[in-house]
Homo-oligomer: A and B are copies of this chain.
Amino acid sequence: MTNHSNGRKQEDAIPSLVQSQRQIDRYGLDVDAQAVLVAARLMEAGAKLGHAAEIHFARFGLSTGRYRLLADLEDNGGEVLPSQLAEHLGVTRATVTGLIDILERDGLVSRRASAKDGRQKSVILTELGASKLREMAPEHFARLEAMVGLLNTEERSVFLDLLGRVTQGISALTDE
């Protein structure tokens, strides 16, 4: 058994309800096993999706972060400050600096010093960057759509609602 692709055997990594219940019972805690299971499954799904996304974007010579930066640039008229990019993407400025470095090296964006404020250097989407987005759009969006193809419109709405509420709850892990 070669464990091809990523050492994951499809089903093995999925945590089960009995597994969660057993963990809770071991310490005699008063916790809902289903709640714990939701947390575990979402974590699993997030990690799996993150990994799959990297593979997907690598096909176009990009990473998830670099694609999202390009897309945000396109969404905002082709010129955005690094600090704004960091905010839009939900990553740190240090990370944005690194993303820009590679995108600039590859000719997909360029940096331009601001006239108004000497501290700022705005990031510009080059023609090459724009054509990269254009070129990958059909396949990219088709795959995203296929990904949620097992849910109908109604179910997607419900999923978005529930996911939003769980996302709000994530702060329970970091609070205090």
Chain B residues lying within 8 Å of A105, measured Cβ to Cβ, are none
Most chain B Cβ neighbours within 10 Å, of A24, A71, A147, A162: A147
- Copies of this protein in the assembly total 2
Return the chain B residue nearest A46 by Cβ.
B46
Cβ of A37 and Cβ of B145 under 8 Å apart?
no
Interface of A is mostly: helix
How many of chain A's residues touch chain B, expressed as a range? 35 or more
Shortest Cβ distance from A97 into chain B, in angstroms?
A: 12
Cβ of A151 and Cβ of B38 under 8 Å apart?
yes
Return the chain B residue nearest A161 by Cβ.
B155
Mask, A45-74, CB within 8 Å of B = 1, is: 111111011011000000010000001001
